[in-house]
Amino acid sequence: MLRQQGARLAATGDRRESQVRALLTEQALAAELELDLQDARHAAALTPAQAHALDSMLAELGRDISSVPVFELGLAQLLERVGGRRVCREAEHVYHLISAPPKTRGICDIDGSELYQRDDDTEPVIRARYQKQWVEAARPVVDHYDAAGLVVRIDAGGTREQVSAEIDALLARLGDGS
């Protein structure tokens, strides 16, 4: 996919050389780590082997990872947030039973269509995804970077403003080099 984008830019005479280089570099990194970029953009984490490979590749380049932000949210809050989501059938307008409910229960405020819960927003599916993506996949990678002192935990249970403030503070610290 990235090779095709790079070839298209080059073939059309697009002089955005840095963009072509970035696309090809991303492709090379993905190949080294044996990642499928389409899947990686939707996945939560590297595998432990990929994390070690990334560390080695960066070390060879004289680079390193400065911080690994981890957004923490307990399973109960995750179930409430994701399980409370409702979507309208007509245009997929999104509501939440607690934080952004429709004016009339079960009816979209915008187009009047029925609101429904997506199959992947049900408790059993959320629990299975949490187990597979967090407990089994992400936690070992977080443990790896935590042992190196790189993990910065962000409480994702707060409001958008609180979480944004934590992210801004982290970025400010990284910008200062501290």
Q: Which residue has the higher pLDDT, 64 or 4?
A: 64
Global pTM?
Answer: 0.64
Confidence band, pLDDT 50/70/90 cuts, at residue 31: low
Task: Give the C-alpha separation, 41 to 29, whole Å.
Answer: 14
Summarised one tens digit per residue, pLDDT across range 95-142 is 999 999 999 999 999 999 999 999 999 999 999 999 998 888 888 999
Query: Where do the domains of the chain lie, and which CATH numbers do they carry?
Result: 1-43 (no CATH), 46-73+121-178 (3.40.50.300), 80-116 (no CATH)
